[in-house]
Each structure stands twice: as structure tokens, then as C-alpha cells.
């Protein structure tokens, strides 16, 4: 069939400090019962003050490179997805590149939030198929904890998010039998910017009226913290994830029963259960990690891959279906054989 791309190695990393729901009860005026009932989250990992997004990305990347049986020097491109960058610019991919000591290779940052990882592997797949690159490191990494409103005002959002990173190596491969060979079958990418303000970080930003991108007023109003219309996000997430997953399977002539493992973005356990219900999926094939890590945005899918492999739920040769939805709104799906 020709040149394709495959996921050749997977790695993940979460910082050691764990915050159980009960650890947030006083800080956020919340309760374990409220969080578990509405989201399924039991705990999340939050970094210590010295750790940045590229630090988490580095650890996950080194593991993915090792698991792919490669040397660092084999990597010819880095694609990094995050909504919690080390700095506004340059992109966190450049900081990761310096930490990996891989000067001059191509670096690309992706800003598609919860959907960023699938956008990343889609771009990597196309670069690899074009023949220009052979081994692309695709990373999703987030440090949310430093950007959350850790007062009762922010409880509707701050209970949801955790810090972590996941990485894969997308490598060139020869695909002879598409029904058997390990490769990325398809990706579907979408966005609808008319919903941008339903889930966003308003400030700092150049769209603010005035001469400065940051002000005391912004801080007083808490506009430097994420804002979310949870109910709207919920409804659209279920609809769009189901839609793009169906489209990917239809394109490839694959039924849901053919899929061995569903690795969805981890925004909320209830969203994933609803997607499974709407599509009539076998829930035992849906692998969730949100209970232990919360929503790590761009990192949830590669982190889930790593944990699924560790748990023996994702094995070589398995057909995997992924779908994600997030801020933008953006949504995407991917179908790949491990």
C-alpha cells in the first residue's frame, strides 16, 4: 500500500504531588461527593512551584523515545500541544527542544487545547507520509495548577484539571496489509470558533481594550483564570465526539465492534459514558484515566495510551479509536492500529 505512519513508542509523566478531592474541600468550598458525582474525578497531580510544562514534556518524551527503541538523535521534528505554555512566546516546543538538546530540528507548537494531541498526530502523519520527516515526537503537556483560581470563586473549573504529559513517536512505516499492519488509518479535525468564548482564558491578551495586555482590573475580575459554560460544553462535547468518531469509522469501513480500545479525551467521565451510550459502544472497551489524573487537556490521550498499555488494555495489533473535544470549540478523531 505504501508509506504510512505508526505510533512507535509511548510515554507519560505526572508530577508526584497528588491532591485528593478532600484536599480541595476547604480551599475551593467543594466536596468529594460533588466532584465524584458530576465528573468522576477522585484525584489529580499538581506540580511543585519549580516545575514547568516543558519539564513534564521532557520526562514523557524521553520515555516515548526509549519505548520506540530510538535514540534522541533519531527524532527529526517536535510537535507540542499545550494550552498552558511555559511562556507566551516562544512556543513551549522550543523550550522542550533545548532540554532534549536537539538543536536545529523542526519544532511546531499546536494550540488546539483538549483536541491538540489529535491535531498533532494528524500533522505528524502527514509530514511522515510526505517523506520529509521520519520520526516525529508528538507531545501533549499541561501545567494547569498554576493557572487555576484556587478560591471558591473558581470551584466550578478548578476541581477539574490536573497536570501531566504524554508523548508518542510517530514513525515512518511500510503498510502492506492495512487490516493488520500497525499504522494511523485516518484523522478527522474540526473547529467552530463561534463558540470560542464558551470555554476560554480571556486575559492577558491583545484583544483587551487599552494599551496594556494586563491590568489590575483583569486581576480583580479574575479574567486571567479559565472561564467555562459547563452545560454548553457538555452538550457539544457529546454530540461532536460521537459525530467525528462515527465519521472516521465510516470512512475506513470499520464498525465500533471492530475497535479494540476507545481512548477518549478525559474531560468528564459523564461525557465519555454518554458518548458510549449514544453510540452503543461496549463500555468495557472505553479506557478512562480521569479518576486518577483529572483533565490534563492535551495530555489526556497519550497519557491514557501509556496507562492502557501498562494495564494490558492496549496491545500490539489492537485497533484504537480516539476522539476529543475542547476549547475553540475544536474536536477531532483518530483511528489507528497499534
Give the binding site for ligand ACO (CB under 6 A).
28, 30, 34, 38-39, 114, 155-156, 159-160, 199, 228, 230-231, 233-234, 237, 267-268, 271, 295, 325-326
Q: To the nearest whole angstrom, how small is the minimum distance from the Cβ of residue 107 to ligand ACO?
A: 25
CB-hemisphere CA count at 13 Å for 53? 29
Active site residue 114: yes
Catalytic hit among 21, 45, 114, 144: 114
User: Do residues 60 and 169 touch, judged by C-beta distance below 8 A?
Assistant: no
In the complex with ligand ACO, the residue whose CB is nearer, 30 or 82, is 30
In the complex with ligand ACO, the residue whose CB is nearer, 68 or 298, is 298
Q: To the nearest whole angstrom, how small is the minimum distance from the Cβ of residue 199 to ligand ACO?
A: 6
In the complex with ligand ACO, the residue whose CB is nearer, 126 or 190, is 190
Instruction: Determine the length of the chain.
Output: 338
Measure the CA–CA gap between 334 and 34, rounded to whole angstroms. Answer: 32
Q: To the nearest whole angstrom, how small is the minimum distance from the Cβ of residue 297 to ligand ACO?
A: 6
User: Do residues 112 and 191 touch, judged by C-beta distance below 8 A?
Assistant: yes
User: Do residues 198 and 233 touch, judged by C-beta distance below 8 A?
Assistant: yes
Catalytic hit among 135, 268, 288, 295: 295
Active site residue 265: yes
Q: Residue 45: left if φ>0, alpha if ψ -120 to 50, beta else—which one?
A: beta
Task: Tell me how many degrees the CA angle 326-329-334 measures, rounded to the nearest 5.
Answer: 60
Give Cα 301 distance to the centre of its chain. 5
In the complex with ligand ACO, the residue whose CB is nearer, 148 or 160, is 160
In the complex with ligand ACO, the residue whose CB is nearer, 168 or 290, is 290
Catalytic hit among 261, 265, 272, 288: 265
Q: To the nearest whole angstrom, how small is the minimum distance from the Cβ of residue 44 to ligand ACO?
A: 12
Measure the CA–CA gap between 293 and 235, rounded to whole angstroms. Answer: 23
In 3D, which of 117, 328, 323, 327 has the Cα closest to residue 240? Answer: 323
Residue nearest to ligand ACO (CB): 230
Q: To the nearest whole angstrom, how small is the minimum distance from the Cβ of residue 144 to ligand ACO?
A: 10
Active site residue 295: yes
Helix and strand element counts for the chain (H, E): 11, 13
Q: What residues are annotated to the active site?
A: 114, 265, 295
Amino acid at each position: 500500500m505504501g508509506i504510512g505512519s505508526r505510533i512507535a513508542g509511548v510515554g507519560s509523566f505526572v508530577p508526584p504531588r497528588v491532591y485528593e478531592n478532600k484536599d480541595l474541600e476547604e480551599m475551593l468550598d467543594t466536596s468529594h461527593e460533588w466532584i465524584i458525582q458530576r465528573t468522576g474525578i477522585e484525584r489529580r497531580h499538581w506540580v511543585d512551584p519549580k516545575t514547568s510544562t516543558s519539564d513534564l514534556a521532557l520526562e514523557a518524551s524521553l520515555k516515548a523515545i526509549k519505548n520506540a527503541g530510538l535514540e534522541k538523535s533519531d527524532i527529526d521534528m517536535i510537535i507540542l500541544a499545550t494550552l498552558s505554555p511555559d511562556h507566551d512566546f516562544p512556543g513551549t516546543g522550543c523550550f522542550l527542544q533545548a532540554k532534549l538538546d536537539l538543536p536545529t530540528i523542526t519544532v511546531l507548537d499546536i494550540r488546539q487545547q483538549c483536541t491538540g494531541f489529535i491535531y498533532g498526530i494528524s500533522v505528524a502523519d502527514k509530514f511522515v507520509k510526505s517523506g520529509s520527516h521520519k520520526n516525529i515526537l508528538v507531545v501533549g503537556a499541561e501545567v494547569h495548577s498554576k493557572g487555576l483560581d484556587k478560591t471558591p470563586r473558581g470551584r466550578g473549573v478548578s476541581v477539574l484539571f490536573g497536570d501531566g504529559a504524554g508523548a508518542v513517536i510517530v514513525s515512518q512505516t511500510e503498510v502492506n496489509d492495512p487490516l493488520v499492519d500497525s499504522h494511523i488509518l485516518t484523522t478527522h479535525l474540526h473547529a467552530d470558533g463561534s463558540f470560542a468564548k464558551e470555554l476560554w482564558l480571556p486575559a492577558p491578551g491583545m484583544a483587551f481594550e487599552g494599551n496594556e495586555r494586563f491590568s489590575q482590573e483583569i486581576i480583580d475580575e479574575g479574567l486571567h483564570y479559565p472561564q467555562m459554560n459547563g452545560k454548553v460544553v457538555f452538550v457539544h462535547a457529546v454530540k461532536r465526539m460521537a459525530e467525528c468518531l462515527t465519521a472516521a469509522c465510516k470512512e475506513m469501513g470499520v464498525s465500533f465492534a471492530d475497535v479494540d480500545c476507545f481512548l477518549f479525551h478525559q474531560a468528564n467521565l459523564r461525557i465519555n459514558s454518554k458518548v458510549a451510550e449514544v453510540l452503543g459502544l461496549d463500555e468495557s472497551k472505553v479506557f478512562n484515566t480521569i479518576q486518577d489524573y483529572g483533565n490534563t487537556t492535551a495530555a489526556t490521550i497519550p497519557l491514557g495510551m501509556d496507562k492502557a498499555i501498562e494495564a494490558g488494555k492496549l496491545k500490539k495489533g489492537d485497533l484504537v479509536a480516539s476522539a476529543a473535544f475542547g476549547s475553540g470549540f475544536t474536536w477531532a478523531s483518530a483511528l489507528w492500529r497499534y
